[in-house]
């Protein structure tokens, strides 16, 4: 068997949920599940307003994602599916190395080079058709 490089997954970073209204969604997660909003930002390139929700200090986050425009990834997702789970994100040691390791396994990455994600992280995505129907995000924290 071919010796493939390690992808370098460290842990689950976040689960992304598409929502129509970010403020309503934050209030719902606070009120219902007792999560806290620990970060908010707008990412023009990705066409999203996002909020990171936490249950504890170190664990995986829930990322609420609302569209800035209808033709964005989240706008199209909402149009097709309505609100719900949109992506699963892994923290990786090195997004370039992780992307190369996944390409070596025959998986398609959405971007030739990583783009800017939450808090200045570097991100890329695996096409959902190559990952069992799951849009997988790779996050190298800033």
Map residue 47 onto helix, strand or coil. Answer: coil
Q: What is the DSSP string of 34-77?
A: --EEEEEEEETTTTEEEEEEESSSSSPEEEEEEESSTTSHHHHH
Stretch that binds ligand V0V, among 3-11, 22-30, 32-40, 86-94 (CB under 6 A): 86-94
Figure out which of the listed residues 8, 54, 60, 76 binds ligand V0V, where binding follows CB under 6 A: 76
Q: Which 35-74 positions form the footprint of ligand V0V (CB under 6 A)?
A: 43, 46, 48, 63, 65, 73-74
> Positive or negative CA dihedral for 38, 44, 48, 49?
positive
Is residue 124 close enough to count as binding ligand V0V by CB under 6 A? no
Largest CA distance in the chain: 51
Q: Where on the chain is the footprint of ligand V0V (CB under 6 A)?
A: 16, 43, 46, 48, 63, 65, 73-74, 76-77, 86-87, 89, 110, 117-118, 121, 123, 125, 128-129, 133, 135, 137
């Amino acid at each position: 068997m071919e010796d493939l490089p390690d992808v370098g997954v460290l842990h689950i970073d976040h689960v992304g949920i598409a929502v129509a209204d970010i403020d309503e969604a934050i209030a719902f997660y606070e009120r219902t599940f007792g999560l806290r909003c620990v970060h908010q930002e707008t990412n023009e390139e990705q066409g999203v307003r996002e909020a990171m929700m936490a249950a504890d200090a170190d664990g995986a986050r829930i990322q609420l994602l609302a569209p800035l425009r209808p033709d964005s990834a989240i706008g199209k997702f909402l149009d097709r599916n309505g609100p719900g789970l949109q992506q699963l994100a892994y923290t990786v040691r090195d997004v370039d190395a992780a992307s190369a390791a996944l390409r070596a396994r025959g998986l398609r990455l959405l971007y030739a080079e990583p783009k800017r994600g939450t808090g200045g992280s570097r991100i890329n995505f695996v096409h959902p058709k190559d990952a069992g129907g799951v849009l997988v995000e790779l996050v190298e924290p800033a």
